[in-house]
Amino acid sequence: MAVGTSNPTALEVMQDAPVIPVIVLQDVAHAVPLARALVAGGIRMLEVTLRTPVALACIEKIAKEVPDAVVGAGTVRSAADAQAAQLAGARFAVSPGYIHAIGKACHDLGLALLPGVATGSEILAAQEDGYQQLKFFPALQAGGPAMLKAWHGPFNDVLFCPTGGVSTANAGEFLALPNVACVGGSWLTPADAVARGDWDRITQLAAEAARLPRA
């Protein structure tokens, strides 16, 4: 996918690389060098979670200063979150669960959404609103690869991005499944490396993640 300036589709977000980094930033000064380090390793779709007071400012910095990155907002829990994220420069959104209000807001904003689901009923609700590319969260705690295998029968038209408990140790097991397009993980941006400004380590982790095989 060419990065360009238009918002990607949810499918483009999921297919760009095998891993979407789940990023928690505590310092705005880390946002740009972190994003550049990930892009240098081949990871362009960056999920900055709205879990800290500086998250929106970090999204804005990355959107303005790292043109090769496609920055999105994670932990979107309301329509207001989606609106604030887009105003900051986010080009896609990821939610930890799904409600109609979030789906409608992202649709109206033209913002691709990966809605979080953990049950069949949540999948049906997201599908009813037109969402076919979903985040399985918390993946490991909600049943892991076995749950995704079970869902492949009744929901064989859905692609998943498992997130939550995914690591280098089990990412391959998830990525080998036919209904998994990518995984989400925080291991690409370890807190100690970010705090030290060890951007070379993050680039290395990103490069390793970008080479993971997919089904």
Q: Is 173 a catalytic residue?
A: no
Which H or E run contains 34? helix 31-40
Domain ranges within the chain, ordered by starting residue: 10-210
**105: its two tokens:** 């807001």
Which residue type, as a one-letter code, is found at position 6? S
Residue 119: pLDDT band by 50, 70, 90 thresholds? very high
149 is catalytic: no
CA distance linking residue 127 with residue 173, whole number of Å: 25
Fold of 10-210: TIM Barrel (3.20.20)
- Give pLDDT tens digits for 16-39: 999 999 999 999 999 999 999 999
Active-site pick, 64, 135, 149, 173: 135
| Tens-place pLDDT, residues 152-183 | 999 999 999 999 999 999 999 999 999 999 99
pLDDT band at 2 (very low <50, low <70, confident <90, very high): very low
For residue 4, the model assigns a pLDDT of 58
Token couple for 116? 């979080």
Tell the burial category of 26 from Cβ atoms under 10 Å away from its Cβ (0-12, 13-18, 19+). Answer: middle
The overall average pLDDT reported for the chain is 97
Asked if 52 contacts 73 with a C-beta cutoff of 8 angstroms, the reply is no
Q: Which of 47, 60, 61, 122 is catalytic?
A: 47
pTM of the model: 0.96
